[in-house]
Structure 1
Amino acid sequence: MLPIENKLRNPQEMTQNCGVLPAAMGLVSAIFLSLGFFGYVAFGDQVQSTITLNMPRTPFYLVVNLTLVVAAYIGHVVNLYVVVAMLWPGTKRKGRRRFPCLFLTYEMHLEILFRICLVLATYFFAVLVPKLELMIPLIGITAGIMIAFIFPPFFEMLTFWREWRSFENYSRKFFYFKLITNSLIIISAGFIMVFGLYQNLYLIYTTIYS
């Protein structure tokens, strides 16, 4: 989010009520919720890991599959924009120190090659990992839960603990409120992660050895 915010002409519009982030997340959430809801309504318990596998082999649904492929390619490029913005500056800085002549002459070509390697890495990961639809929830329930619910309150307490405890700018009630709410979020997320991890590992085991 930060690389995109830094590129905006008016960065304050990123998180406003009708700003870039709420509008984009609202639209994406509506699309995914609609796809999941209507997909389940159409196919019920027979829905497969990818909704395209349930579609009939007719010209109309062939066009639908092609549009989904195009959307996946475009969405993948947008997602990798943030990854490149985070990784390429450090890679370029180290490359300039070790290979100054090469980066001075072919810097643009090397950046394109770097992007191609990232795309190929994700492609080979998707191809080589069997039962990828089982691995995605496993990563989501672990890394996703930690990044979204455990790390933010933990690092907030780690960063502002002394400032909160000084009671100079914050009251005692505020300190206990933040302590209790952040602790509850971390504990709840921990329970969800443990039970979700157990369920996903059990599902992987039964799928592979059944």
Structure 2
Amino acid sequence: MSPAAGINVPLLPDGKPAVKPGSVLGAVFNVTTTIIGAGIMSIPMTLKVLGIIPAIALILIIGFLAELSVDFLMRFTHSGETTTYAGVMREAFGPVGSLAAQVCVMITNLGALVMYLIIIGDVFSGNQPEGEVHLGILQQWFGFQWWTSREFSLLITLVFVMLPLVLYRRVESLKFSSAISTLLAVVFVSICSVLAVSALLQGKTKTPRLFPQLDRQTSFFDLFTAVPVIVTAFTFHFNVHPIGFELTKPSDMTTAVRIALILCAAIYSAMGLFGYLLFGDSIQSDILVNFDQGSGSAIGSLLNDVVRLSYTFHIMLVFPLLNFSLRANIDEFLFPKKPLLATDNRRFLCLTIVLLFFSYLVAIAVPNIWYFFQFLGSTTAVCLAFIFPGAIALRDSQGVSTTRDKITAAIMIILAVITSAIAISTNIYNFLSSRS
């Protein structure tokens, strides 16, 4: 068994008592937490770009396709002899397939971890998108001090919050933190909805667009740049195997994924709508930045702070889930002949600390999460979520694909490739145009 299997149930050496299987409820929390992550932060921005109706329709379509792609992954995994994403790609396409999966998981997860730290830095220590000054909570409460700086607040968060959580060696061990994380996301959306409804009753809401507005600043092709953001928001496939193989039977994972996707689609749609109602076209790529705006009452200011803090603590609890699969894939990539990662304390600790430190450095250097969403959603995330699962079904190395499966897989790949190609080319064109 490959070292990546160290993220599955049989972590302990022979002679230890069997580990209790994971629960469906725990899997639902872990999948939901993995999906929501930082994706919800930029969902309102997609409504600004696409308009309400196309954006919500796209959320539902991508959520549905994500469920189909997970079904492909798990069916072929259980038909073969592997327990990892890289393993099922190896069975279908050989060592090249395995390498492609590992590289995509590493890039996607590392990018997501950096996005989480950027958001945490935005909340605690503020940001200055496009010249606008947005204060962080620490700066609003205590002013500009050396210990309210982005660098120091992120360092303290990593050492005292992230590090203890990433030292767990089983996904199931994170089910309670994932449950709290999901609850915090619901609190976040609930407060946003209350603020939006209150603003609506007072006539203070912005007028949202139902459909995109094409003008000199926004072309038809610019609309495709919002697609990768939603794709990234639904990319959780790197954790399907570690979560699924801790359950008693395959159908448990199917149930957990279905429930989690329905819950996440509802949360994304609600957050996008209420966030857009609150801030309209002034929405930022990280909506938490918008909540630094002053309020006319002490209660309003308190709610603004609660919104930001609730979601900040949410992504702190999401962080270890993505770090889990990232660490396992890097270990499998660098040390394919070594014993299970969870049984090697030195290797486990070294990988964990190096990943935290590297994520910290990149988060300090890059201030905007929209760039990460567009890049990941157009490249590695779309490969993990749709292109690789579709290719596995078309390859059909286990002989389990039906004609309908192959047609679905082909459509999934074609749509993913076309939208990603347009998004990438549009982003490159816009970048070059802004430089000229």
TM-score, with length taken from structure 2: 0.37
Q: Counterpart in 1 of 2:413?
A: 186
Q: How does 1:20-31 map to 2 (within 5 A)?
A: 20-31=256-267
Q: Counterpart in 1 of 2:425?
A: 198
Q: Counterpart in 2 of 1:70?
A: 313
Q: Partners of 1:40 and 1:206 in 2: how far apart?
A: 28
1:17-69: per-residue Cα shift (whole Å, max 9, x none)? xx222222322332222222211111111101111111124333122212211
Matched, 1:61 2:304: yes
Letter of the aligned partner of 1:25 in structure 2?
L
Is residue 126–residue 132 contact of structure 1 (8 Å, CA) maintained in 2?
no
Q: Partners of 1:151 and 1:116 in 2: how far apart?
A: 30
- Compared CA separation, residues 48 and 85, structure 1 to 2 (3 A): same
Q: Give the gaps of 5 or more residues in structure 2.
A: 1-239, 295-300
- Once structures 1 and 2 are overlaid, which stretch shifts more, 87-96 or 71-80? 87-96
Identify the match of residue 39 of structure 1 among 250, 266, 275. 275
- Which of 1 and 2 has greater Rg? 1
- Compared CA separation, residues 190 and 92, structure 1 to 2 (3 A): closer
Please report how far the alpha carbon of residue 196 of structure 1 lies from its aligned counterpart in structure 2 after TM superposition: 1.3
Number of residue pairs aligned between Structure 1 and Structure 2 = 188
Please report how far the alpha carbon of residue 140 of structure 1 lies from its aligned counterpart in structure 2 after TM superposition: 0.4
- Compared CA separation, residues 179 and 62, structure 1 to 2 (3 A): closer
Q: Partners of 2:333 and 2:424 in 1: how far apart?
A: 34
Letter of the aligned partner of 1:201 in structure 2?
I
**Which is helix-richer, 1 or 2?**
1
Letter of the aligned partner of 1:135 in structure 2?
F
Please report how far the alpha carbon of residue 2 of structure 1 lies from its aligned counterpart in structure 2 after TM superposition: 0.8
Matched, 1:137 2:374: yes
- Compared CA separation, residues 179 and 91, structure 1 to 2 (3 A): closer
- Compared CA separation, residues 34 and 121, structure 1 to 2 (3 A): farther
- Compared CA separation, residues 151 and 88, structure 1 to 2 (3 A): closer
1:72-130: per-residue Cα shift (whole Å, max 9, x none)? 1101112222223444467676566xxxxxx9xx9435423422322332232232235
Is residue 386–residue 413 contact of structure 2 (8 Å, CA) maintained in 1?
yes
Q: CA RMSD in A?
A: 3.3
Q: Counterpart in 1 of 2:242?
A: 3
Identify the match of residue 125 of structure 1 among 355, 362, 376. 362
Is residue 284–residue 290 contact of structure 2 (8 Å, CA) maintained in 1?
yes
Q: Counterpart in 1 of 2:383?
A: 146
Q: Equivalent pairs: percent with the same residue?
A: 25
Is residue 138–residue 200 contact of structure 1 (8 Å, CA) maintained in 2?
no
Q: Give the gaps of 5 or more residues in structure 1.
A: 97-102, 165-169
Q: Counterpart in 1 of 2:252?
A: 13
Letter of the aligned partner of 2:247 in structure 1?
L
Letter of the aligned partner of 1:49 in structure 2?
S
Is residue 150–residue 186 contact of structure 1 (8 Å, CA) maintained in 2?
yes
- Once structures 1 and 2 are overlaid, which stretch shifts more, 182-191 or 47-56? 182-191
1:105-161: per-residue Cα shift (whole Å, max 9, x none)? x94354234223223322322322354422321220222223333222223222349
Letter of the aligned partner of 1:133 in structure 2?
W
Is residue 387–residue 413 contact of structure 2 (8 Å, CA) maintained in 1?
yes
- Compared CA separation, residues 37 and 203, structure 1 to 2 (3 A): farther
Please report how far the alpha carbon of residue 183 of structure 1 lies from its aligned counterpart in structure 2 after TM superposition: 3.7
Identify the match of residue 82 of structure 1 among 304, 325, 332. 325
Matched, 1:49 2:292: no
- Once structures 1 and 2 are overlaid, which stretch shifts more, 62-71 or 23-32? 23-32
Q: Partners of 1:120 and 1:68 in 2: how far apart?
A: 23
